[in-house]
Structure 1
Amino acid sequence: MSLSLPGRVGRKIHDADFQIFILSVIILFTYGMYIAITTIGGGGQDNFAAASYSNLAVNATAAFFGFFAGGIVNYLGPRLSTVISGVPFALYTGSLLAYTQIQNSGFVIASGALVGFGTVIMWTTQGLFSLTYPGEGSKGMSLGFFHVMYSLSGVIAGAIALGLNFQMENRGLTAPTYVVFIVLAVIGLALTVLLVPAEAVRRSDQTHVQHVHFPGWRAELMALGRAFLNRRMLLAAPYMIITQWQAPYQFNGYNGSLFSIRSRGANLMFYRLSSIVASLVYGHLLDKPTWTVKRRGAVATLILVVCLVGSWIGALKVQWHYPPDEPSPYMDLSEGRYWAVWPIFVVWGFIDIGLNMTAFWLIGCFTSDTSEVSMMTGAFLAWQAIGGTIAWNIDAAGVDYRYQGIITISAVMLGFVSLGLSVSKLPDSQHYESKDMSNIRIAILLNVNV
C-alpha cells in the first residue's frame, strides 16, 4: 500500500530524489539502529552470549540468502521488499528488550536469523534504487547522500545510548533505550507507505524509472553462477571474506568488554563520525582522475595496511593488560585512560568504510554492466557473510579475546594478499575498462555491512 495524493504533494512523492530520501531514512531507522546496537557490543547486554550466537545466525542466514537476494527483490519489487526486510530489525531489538526481562536467548537467536534475511534484501533493494532511480548525472551525489545518512544512524544511536545511560552504573543498556530504538524502527516501517511503485517514479528530467522485470529463477541463478565463477571475483574473494571479519572482536572483545556503557555509546558516535570522514576521503581517492587505476588501488591498500597495523598493535597492547581471569577495567570517558585508547576505535571506523568501499571499487573496475554489478554485489555479500559467520562463531565459542584479536588481524592481513594481487591486475592507465563512469562511481560509494 502507498499513499496517493493529488497536486504538488503527489508529484513530490513520485519524485525520484524524494523516493531515495525516504528509503535512506527508512534504512537509517531500521538497519541503522540494528547496526548501532551491534556496535555498542553484545547487543547492549551485560552477557554477550545470546548476542554473539544471534550474530552468528545473522551471518549464516545472510550467506545463504545472499545468493538469491537479487532474484527475490526482482520478484517482489523494491517497495514490498523494503517492507518485508524492515520488520526483522524491530523484532530483533524487541527480542533484546525481552532478554533483559526473561533471558530467552532462543528468541534473540531466531530474530537474528530473520535479520540476516532482512539485511541482504534491504541492501539489495537499496542497490536497485541507487542504480535505477537517479539520472545519469546524479547517481554519485545520491549515493553519497545515502551513505552519510546511513553513517548518521550510528551517531544518533550513540547519542541516545549515551544520553539515556549517562548516569547508569550497569553494564547493559536500559529498557527505555531499547524502547526508543523500537519506536524508531516502527517509524521507519511506517514511512514505507510513502514508497511508490518503480514505474510511477519520475526523475528530474521527467523520464520514468523502468519497471523491474523478473526474468525467471533459471536466468537469475545462471547470472549469479557467472558472477561467482568470474576469475577476478575469485581472486578477490579472500579479501571480500575479511571485510567484516574484525567486527566481533572490535564490538564485543574491545568496545564491549573494556568500556562502561556510556563510553560504549560515545565510542559508537565517534566510530560513525569517522566513517563519514572515510567515505569522503575514499570516495575522492578511489575516483581521482589524475591517477592511474592501479595507483589508486595501491594507495588505498597502503593506507588501509598502515591504519590496520598501527591500530591493532595498540588494541592488542591494551587487551593484553586485562587477561580474562582478571576484572575488566570498564574504562569510562571521565577517566584519562579512556582518552588514551579512544583513537583506536576512531581509526577502526575509518578502516571499516575503507575496507568495504575498496571492495566495491574493485567490482566497479571488473565491470560496468548493471546486471553484472548487481550479481557481483550479491556474490560479495555472500563472501562477506561467510567470513562473518566464521568470525562470530569464534566469538560465540568464548575464545579468549587476546587470541581472538590475533586470529582476526592474521586473517585480515592474509586477505590483503588477495587485495594486493587483485590491484596488481588492474590496468595501468587513468581509465577503467568501460567508459560508463556512472556505474563505477556507484561501486565506489555503495557500502554494505552485514
Structure 2
Amino acid sequence: MVMMSYPVESQKGKYISIFWVIFNLGGVIGGIVPFVVNYSQGKGNVATPLPDSCYTAFVCLQALGSMSALCLAPPQRVIRDDGSHVVLMRYTNVRYELMEILKLFVNPWILLLIPISLASNFFYTYQYGPYNGALFTLRTRGLNSMLYWAAQMAAAYAVSFLHDRESLSRRQRGLLSLGIMAFLCNALWALTMVMQLRYTRGADDKHPSNDYPGGLMDLTEPGRAVGPILLYIFMGAVDAHIQSFAYWLIGTMTNDSQMLARYAGFYKGVQSLGATIAWQLDAQNVSLMGQVIVNWALIVVALPFTYYLTSRIKDRADDSIEQPADDWLMRADGSKNDYL
C-alpha cells in the first residue's frame, strides 16, 4: 500500500523498484548462506547443518524488521514531493471492510487481475524444485539462488525507468512494458521447455536417480553449467518484471491508500492461491514437462486480460483528488473519530 499510494503519479515505478530491491536483498543473503556453508562439500549433495547462531541471527533480523515498521511516519504527516498530501486512510470497522472486500469480487477491473495474479507466483514451484533443486549440486543451488534474487533487484530497477518515463503517456508505458513482458515470458518458457526435454526427473527425495545427462551440474563445470545458470538468472529477471508491472498497474487504478490496501491484499491472496496449487501439482508428481506447460499456458492466458486492463489506463487516477486534511479523523460513516 505504501509503495503504491505514497509516490506522485510519475514516481510509482521508482517506489516499487526500491521496495523490490530491498525485498529481494533478503533472498540474496539467503542464497549466500548455503553457498558459503556448503562450498567445502564440493560436488556433494548433503547439506552441512547450519549452527544455532545462524538461526538466532535470522530470528533477530525478523524481529528487527517487524519493529522497524514502528518508525514509519503516520500517513497524515506524509507529504509528497509536489507538496500534495497522501490520500489518507479513514478508520473503519470489520463489517465495513468485509463488505468492501466482497465488492472486489464483482468489480470487473479487479477480476481482470485474476489471471496475472494467479500466474505470478505459480512458477516458483517449478523454478525452485524441478529446475534449481533437481539439476545442480548443493553449493551451486546456493549460488543460483543468490544470482536469481540479484537479477530480480537489477531488473526491477531497470523497468522502473520505463514505468516512470514521462515522455510517453501512462497508457503507452503500460502497453510497452506489457509487450516486453510478453516477449520475455514466452522466450523464457520456450528456453525452459528445451531444457526440460533433456531430463524427466531430478535428484530430490522423491526421485533420487537423476537422469540429466552427466548428472548434477556444479559451478566448477562451466561447459555444462553456465547455460542453465544463465537461464535461472533470466527466470529471476522476468519474475521481477512481472511483479513490478503488476504492482504498477494496480497503482494506476487509484491513489486512495485504503483502496490500494484492498487491491494489494486481493492480488497477494490470488497470487498465493496460485502458488498453493502449483506446490500441490508437484506433490502429486505431475510430470516436469506438464508443469512447464501449465506455467507457460497460465502466462499466455493472462496476457489478453492484462492487455485489456492496460489499454484503459488513464494518465491520472479518477479518484486522485486530495481529500480534506482532516479526513483521517473521520469514521467511514462520516462521524468524527472520538478516540483520535
* TM-score for the superposition, normalised by structure 2: 0.78
Is the deviation greater in 345-354 or in 190-199?
190-199
Q: Distance in 2 between matches of 1:187 and 1:215?
A: 32
Counterpart in the other structure of 1:353:
240
Q: Does 1:334 align with 2:220?
A: yes
| Superposition map of 1:289-304 within 5 A | 289-304=166-181
Q: Distance in 2 between matches of 1:162 and 1:274?
A: 17
Q: Does 1:415 align with 2:302?
A: yes
CA deviations on 1:375-431 (whole Å, 9 max, x unpaired) are 11111111112211211111111112122111211122111222122223334xxx2
Q: Distance in 2 between matches of 1:235 and 1:139?
A: 21
Q: Distance in 2 between matches of 1:358 and 1:135?
A: 17
Contact 2:254 2:317 in 1 (8 A): yes
| Superposition map of 1:152-231 within 5 A | 152-168=25-41, 169-176=43-50, 180-190=54-64, 192-193=66-67, 196=70, 214-231=91-108
For residue 152 of structure 1, report the CA deviation from its aligned partner.
1.4
Contact 1:245 1:408 in 2 (8 A): yes
Kindly provide the amino acid, as one letter, of the partner of residue 234 in structure 1.
L
Counterpart in the other structure of 2:137:
260
Kindly provide the amino acid, as one letter, of the partner of residue 256 in structure 2.
D
Q: Distance in 2 between matches of 1:136 and 1:423?
A: 16
Q: Distance in 2 between matches of 1:419 and 1:322?
A: 33
Question: In 2 relative to 1, CA 362–267 (structure 1 residues): closer, same or farther, beyond 3 Å?
Answer: same
Q: Distance in 2 between matches of 1:198 and 1:212?
A: 15
CA deviations on 1:105-141 (whole Å, 9 max, x unpaired) are xxxxxxxxxxxxxxxxxxxxxx358757x99999876
Identify which of 242, 247, 262 aligns with 2:119. Answer: 242
Q: Distance in 2 between matches of 1:330 and 1:287?
A: 43
Question: In 2 relative to 1, CA 265–301 (structure 1 residues): closer, same or farther, beyond 3 Å?
Answer: same
Counterpart in the other structure of 1:151:
24
Q: Distance in 2 between matches of 1:138 and 1:359?
A: 15
Q: Does 1:387 align with 2:274?
A: yes
Identify which of 145, 148, 151 aligns with 1:274. Answer: 151
Q: Distance in 2 between matches of 1:365 and 1:135?
A: 11
Is the helix fraction higher in 1 or 2?
1
Question: In 2 relative to 1, CA 174–213 (structure 1 residues): closer, same or farther, beyond 3 Å?
Answer: farther
Contact 1:135 1:203 in 2 (8 A): no
For residue 432 of structure 1, report the CA deviation from its aligned partner.
2.6
Q: Distance in 1 between matches of 2:10 and 2:252?
A: 19
For residue 226 of structure 1, report the CA deviation from its aligned partner.
2.4
Instruction: Figure out how many residues of one structure are paired with residues of the other and give that number.
Output: 307
CA deviations on 1:343-382 (whole Å, 9 max, x unpaired) are 2111111111111111112212222222111111111111
Larger C-alpha radius of gyration, 1 or 2? 2
Q: Which runs of 5+ in 1 are unaligned?
A: 1-126, 439-450
Question: In 2 relative to 1, CA 274–195 (structure 1 residues): closer, same or farther, beyond 3 Å?
Answer: closer
Q: Distance in 1 between matches of 2:69 and 2:25?
A: 22
Q: Does 1:365 align with 2:242?
A: no
Kindly provide the amino acid, as one letter, of the partner of residue 154 in structure 2.
V
For residue 238 of structure 1, report the CA deviation from its aligned partner.
1.2
Contact 1:199 1:209 in 2 (8 A): no
Q: Distance in 2 between matches of 1:173 and 1:376?
A: 40
Q: Distance in 2 between matches of 1:185 and 1:311?
A: 36
Question: In 2 relative to 1, CA 158–395 (structure 1 residues): closer, same or farther, beyond 3 Å?
Answer: same
* TM-score for the superposition, normalised by structure 1: 0.60
For residue 310 of structure 1, report the CA deviation from its aligned partner.
1.9
Q: Distance in 2 between matches of 1:343 and 1:403?
A: 23
Q: Distance in 1 between matches of 2:292 and 2:217?
A: 19
Q: Distance in 2 between matches of 1:287 and 1:164?
A: 41
For residue 178 of structure 1, report the CA deviation from its aligned partner.
7.8
Question: In 2 relative to 1, CA 323–197 (structure 1 residues): closer, same or farther, beyond 3 Å?
Answer: closer
For residue 188 of structure 1, report the CA deviation from its aligned partner.
2.8
Secondary structure of the structure 2 residue equivalent to 1:306: helix
Identity of matched residues, %: 25
Q: Distance in 2 between matches of 1:319 and 1:285?
A: 33
Contact 2:5 2:87 in 1 (8 A): no
Q: Distance in 2 between matches of 1:210 and 1:293?
A: 20
CA deviations on 1:64-107 (whole Å, 9 max, x unpaired) are xxxxxxxxxxxxxxxxxxxxxxxxxxxxxxxxxxxxxxxxxxxx
Q: Distance in 1 between matches of 2:313 and 2:75?
A: 37
Structure number with the bigger relative contact order (C-alpha 8 A, sep ≥ 6) is: 2
Q: Distance in 1 between matches of 2:76 and 2:318?
A: 27
CA deviations on 1:306-363 (whole Å, 9 max, x unpaired) are 2222222222222221223753421111112110222211111111111111111221
Q: Distance in 1 between matches of 2:68 and 2:252?
A: 35
Contact 1:198 1:209 in 2 (8 A): no
Q: Distance in 1 between matches of 2:30 and 2:148?
A: 12
Contact 1:162 1:262 in 2 (8 A): yes
Q: Does 1:426 align with 2:320?
A: no
Kindly provide the amino acid, as one letter, of the partner of residue 362 in structure 1.
L
